[in-house]
Structure 1
Amino acid sequence: MAVLDSGLSDPAGEFTGRISAASRGFGSNTSYADVEGHGTAVSAVLAAGRNDRHIMGMAWGATLMALRTDDQSNCSDSGCTHPTSAIASAIDHAWQNGARVINISLGGGTAPGQLLQAVSRATAAGTIIVVAAGNNLEGEAPLVSPDALAQSFADPAYARGLVIIASSVNENDTVSGFSAGVFGFETVSLAALGNRVRTIDHEGVDYLYTGTSLAAPQISGAAALLAQAFPNLSGRQIVDLLLSTARDVGAPGADARYGRGILDVAAAFAPQGQLRVAGTGLAVTPGANSALSAPMGDVTGAALGTVALDALARAYRVDLSPGFLRRGSMHSLGAALDQHARHVTMGSEALALSLNVAPVMGSLSSAGSSLLDVERGRQSRLLSGVLEARFSTDMAMTLGLRTGFSALATRARGGAAPTFLMADHGFDAQRGDLRPAGAMMLSRRLGEGFSLTGGFETGHVGAPVHRPGVTDPVATRPAPYHAVSMTIGMERSAAALSAGLTLMDEPASALGARFDPLLGGQSARTLFARLGGSMRVAPQLTLSANWQHGWTHAAAGGLLTRGGQLASESWSIDLARRNLFASDDLLGIRIAQPLRVVASRFDLALPDQWDWETQVATSRVVPLDLAPGGRERNHELSYARSVGPGWLGANLFLREQGGNIAAMPDDLGLALRWSARF
Structure 2
Amino acid sequence: MTVAVIDSGIDVDSREFAGRISSKSVDIYQDQTNRGFNDEDGHGTHVSMIAAAARDDYGILGMAWNATVMAIRSDRPGSCTESGPASLSSGCAFEDGKVAEAVNYATNNGAKVINISLSGGAAGTALRSAVQNAVNSGVLVVVASGNDGAAQPSGYATSLDNAAAGGVLVVGSVDENGQISDFSNKAGANGENFLTARGENVCCVYENGAIYQSLGSVFLLNGTSFAAPQVAGAAALLAQAFPSLTGRQIAEILIESATDAGATGRDNVYGEGILNLTKAFEPAGTTSLAGSGQALALTDIVGVGSPAMGDALGATSLSAIVLDKYQRAYNVELGSNLRGAGVAERLYGALVGEQRQAAMSSDVASVAFTIDARGAYGELPRLAALRLPNEDAERARILAARVAYRISPNTQFGFAFAQGADGLVAQLQGQSRPAFMIATSADAGEAGLQRKDMSFAFRRQFKGWGLTAKAESGHVVSRSREKVNGIWGRDQDRSKAQTLGLAVDRAIDNWTISVGAEWLQEERTFLGGRFHDSFGIRGTNTAFLDAEAAWSFARNWRFGASIRNGWSKASAGDSVSAGSQLRSQAWSMDIERWGVFGRDDRLAFRIAQPLRVSSGGLKLELPVSYDYDTLSPVYGIREISLAPEGREIMGEMAWRGAFMRGYAAASVYYRHEPGHYANLPADKGIAFRWSTDF
Q: Report the TM-score range of the alignment, normalised by the length of the smaller protein.
A: 0.7 to 0.9
Task: Give the unaligned 5+ runs of structure 2.
Answer: 84-89, 213-217, 376-385
* Equivalent position amino acid for 2:239 in 1: A
* Equivalent position amino acid for 2:41 in 1: E
Q: Determine the structure 1 residue equivalent to 2:506.
A: 490
Secondary structure at 2:537 match in 1: coil
* Equivalent position amino acid for 2:408 in 1: S
C-alpha contact (below 8 Å) 1:328/1:661 kept by paired residues = no
C-alpha contact (below 8 Å) 2:609/2:648 kept by paired residues = yes
Secondary structure at 1:409 match in 2: helix
C-alpha contact (below 8 Å) 1:638/1:651 kept by paired residues = yes
Distance 1:160 1:329 in 2: 57
C-alpha distance 178-664 of structure 1, shift in aligned 2 (>3 A) = closer
Q: Determine the structure 2 residue equivalent to 1:308.
A: 322
1:199 to 183, 198, 204: 204
User: Does residue 456 of the first structure (1) align with residue 458 of the second (2)?
Assistant: no
Q: Determine the structure 2 residue equivalent to 1:19.
A: 21
Q: Determine the structure 2 residue equivalent to 1:79.
A: 91
C-alpha distance 528-10 of structure 1, shift in aligned 2 (>3 A) = same
C-alpha distance 570-29 of structure 1, shift in aligned 2 (>3 A) = same
1:409 to 425, 440, 443: 425
User: Does residue 299 of the first structure (1) align with residue 312 of the second (2)?
Assistant: yes
User: Does residue 392 of the first structure (1) align with residue 397 of the second (2)?
Assistant: no
By how many angstroms is 1:437 displaced?
Answer: 3.4
Distance 1:164 1:85 in 2: 21
Q: Determine the structure 1 residue equivalent to 2:583.
A: 567
Distance 1:654 1:98 in 2: 72
C-alpha contact (below 8 Å) 2:74/2:99 kept by paired residues = yes
Q: Determine the structure 1 residue equivalent to 2:113.
A: 101
C-alpha distance 317-491 of structure 1, shift in aligned 2 (>3 A) = same
Distance 2:165 2:656 in 1: 90
User: Does residue 348 of the first structure (1) align with residue 350 of the second (2)?
Assistant: no
Q: Determine the structure 2 residue equivalent to 1:68.
A: 73
Q: For residues 337-364 of structure 1, give each alpha carbon's deviation from its aligned partner in whole angstroms, at most 9, with x where no partner exists.
A: 5696544433422233333445558xxx
1:227 to 230, 239, 248: 239
C-alpha distance 270-357 of structure 1, shift in aligned 2 (>3 A) = closer
C-alpha distance 483-25 of structure 1, shift in aligned 2 (>3 A) = same
C-alpha distance 259-655 of structure 1, shift in aligned 2 (>3 A) = closer
By how many angstroms is 1:232 displaced?
Answer: 0.9
* Equivalent position amino acid for 1:219 in 2: V
* Equivalent position amino acid for 1:274 in 2: T
Distance 2:366 2:560 in 1: 29
Distance 1:605 1:312 in 2: 24
By how many angstroms is 1:535 displaced?
Answer: 3.6
C-alpha contact (below 8 Å) 1:329/1:432 kept by paired residues = no
By how many angstroms is 1:276 displaced?
Answer: 1.5
Greater shift in the superposed pair: 165-174 or 94-103? 165-174
Distance 2:392 2:79 in 1: 107
Q: Determine the structure 1 residue equivalent to 2:215.
A: none
Q: Determine the structure 1 residue equivalent to 2:669.
A: 653
Distance 1:631 1:659 in 2: 8
* Equivalent position amino acid for 2:304 in 1: A
Distance 1:238 1:674 in 2: 71
User: Does residue 441 of the first structure (1) align with residue 491 of the second (2)?
Assistant: no
By how many angstroms is 1:672 displaced?
Answer: 5.3
2:39 to 34, 42, 50: 34
Secondary structure at 1:9 match in 2: coil
C-alpha contact (below 8 Å) 2:11/2:45 kept by paired residues = yes
Secondary structure at 2:408 match in 1: coil
By how many angstroms is 1:11 displaced?
Answer: 6.5
Distance 2:237 2:353 in 1: 69
Q: For residues 362-411 of structure 1, give each alpha carbon's deviation from its aligned partner in whole angstroms, at most 9, with x where no partner exists.
A: xxxxxxxx854434444655443332322222122223333321112223
Q: Determine the structure 2 residue equivalent to 1:602.
A: 618
Q: Determine the structure 2 residue equivalent to 1:665.
A: 681
By how many angstroms is 1:452 displaced?
Answer: 1.6
C-alpha contact (below 8 Å) 2:648/2:674 kept by paired residues = yes
Secondary structure at 1:44 match in 2: helix
TM-score, with normalisation over the residues of structure 1?
0.86
Q: Determine the structure 1 residue equivalent to 2:10.
A: 8
* Equivalent position amino acid for 1:167 in 2: G
Secondary structure at 1:80 match in 2: coil
TM-score, with normalisation over the residues of structure 2?
0.84
By how many angstroms is 1:569 displaced?
Answer: 1.6
By how many angstroms is 1:625 displaced?
Answer: 0.9
C-alpha distance 154-405 of structure 1, shift in aligned 2 (>3 A) = closer
Secondary structure at 1:426 match in 2: coil
By how many angstroms is 1:612 displaced?
Answer: 1.1
Q: Determine the structure 2 residue equivalent to 1:366.
A: none
Distance 1:574 1:181 in 2: 83
Secondary structure at 1:412 match in 2: helix
User: Does residue 317 of the first structure (1) align with residue 331 of the second (2)?
Assistant: yes
1:530 to 546, 556, 559: 546
By how many angstroms is 1:307 displaced?
Answer: 1.6
C-alpha distance 107-663 of structure 1, shift in aligned 2 (>3 A) = closer
Secondary structure at 2:529 match in 1: coil
C-alpha distance 38-415 of structure 1, shift in aligned 2 (>3 A) = closer
Greater shift in the superposed pair: 418-427 or 320-329? 320-329
Q: Determine the structure 1 residue equivalent to 2:446.
A: 430
By how many angstroms is 1:295 displaced?
Answer: 0.8
Q: Determine the structure 2 residue equivalent to 1:365.
A: none
* Equivalent position amino acid for 1:611 in 2: D
C-alpha distance 552-431 of structure 1, shift in aligned 2 (>3 A) = closer
1:286 to 298, 311, 315: 298
C-alpha distance 46-441 of structure 1, shift in aligned 2 (>3 A) = same
Secondary structure at 1:663 match in 2: coil
By how many angstroms is 1:250 displaced?
Answer: 5.0
Spell out the pairing of 1:158-173 with structure 2 (5 A cutoff): 159=164, 162-173=167-178
Spell out the pairing of 1:578-657 with structure 2 (5 A cutoff): 586-639=602-655, 650-657=666-673
By how many angstroms is 1:450 displaced?
Answer: 0.8
Distance 1:222 1:603 in 2: 39
C-alpha distance 73-663 of structure 1, shift in aligned 2 (>3 A) = closer
By how many angstroms is 1:602 displaced?
Answer: 0.7
C-alpha distance 650-22 of structure 1, shift in aligned 2 (>3 A) = closer
* Equivalent position amino acid for 2:317 in 1: A
Secondary structure at 2:534 match in 1: helix
Greater shift in the superposed pair: 43-52 or 452-461? 452-461
Secondary structure at 2:106 match in 1: helix
Secondary structure at 1:514 match in 2: strand
RMSD (CA atoms): 3.6
Distance 1:183 1:652 in 2: 77
Greater shift in the superposed pair: 207-216 or 235-244? 235-244
Distance 1:513 1:431 in 2: 9
By how many angstroms is 1:652 displaced?
Answer: 3.5
C-alpha contact (below 8 Å) 1:441/1:456 kept by paired residues = yes
C-alpha contact (below 8 Å) 2:307/2:447 kept by paired residues = no
C-alpha contact (below 8 Å) 2:26/2:71 kept by paired residues = yes
C-alpha contact (below 8 Å) 1:10/1:202 kept by paired residues = no
Distance 2:21 2:50 in 1: 15
By how many angstroms is 1:586 displaced?
Answer: 4.6
Q: For residues 485-538 of structure 1, give each alpha carbon's deviation from its aligned partner in whole angstroms, at most 9, with x where no partner exists.
A: 222222222333222222233334332233221344364333322222234445
Secondary structure at 1:81 match in 2: coil
C-alpha distance 520-162 of structure 1, shift in aligned 2 (>3 A) = closer
Task: Give the unaligned 5+ runs of structure 1.
Answer: 137-141, 362-369
By how many angstroms is 1:279 displaced?
Answer: 1.8
Q: Determine the structure 1 residue equivalent to 2:566.
A: 550
Tell me the percent identity: 34
Aligned residues between the structures: 663
